[in-house]
């Protein structure tokens, strides 16, 4: 299990390693921040929207269940 964790850490850090080797040193912070934004913003948007989707789905399922009981 430890080997899997080390491999996963290597996979996750690889984009940053590739980027740091390809960019000029004076702008590396800007490019790392942009890359980090492209990684984290979709995760934040998905986590905010997923709660709403689950609440909507649960309300819809509850209404369908109530309709089945009434017949």
Q: Are 15 and 35 in contact (CB under 8 A)?
A: yes
Q: What is the DSSP letter of 1?
A: -
Confidence of residue 13 (pLDDT cuts 50, 70, 90): confident
Q: Are 33 and 16 in contact (CB under 8 A)?
A: no
Residue 37: the pLDDT is: 92
Residue 9 belongs to what domain range? 2-70
Residues near 39 by Cβ (< 8 Å), separated by ≥ 6?
15
Intra-chain end-to-end CA distance of the chain, in Å: 53
- 29 versus 51: the higher-pLDDT residue is 29
Confidence of residue 70 (pLDDT cuts 50, 70, 90): low
Domain count, the chain: 1
Q: What are phi and psi of 23, to 5 degrees?
A: -110, 155
pLDDT at 68 over 70: no
């Amino acid at each position: 299990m430890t080997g899997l964790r080390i491999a996963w850490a290597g996979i996750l850090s690889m984009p940053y390693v590739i980027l740091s080797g390809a960019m000029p040193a004076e702008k590396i912070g800007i490019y790392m921040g942009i890359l980090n934004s492209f990684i984290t913003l979709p995760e934040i948007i998905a986590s905010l929207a997923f709660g709403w989707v689950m609440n909507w789905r649960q309300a819809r399922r509850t209404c369908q269940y109530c309709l089945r009981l009434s017949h």
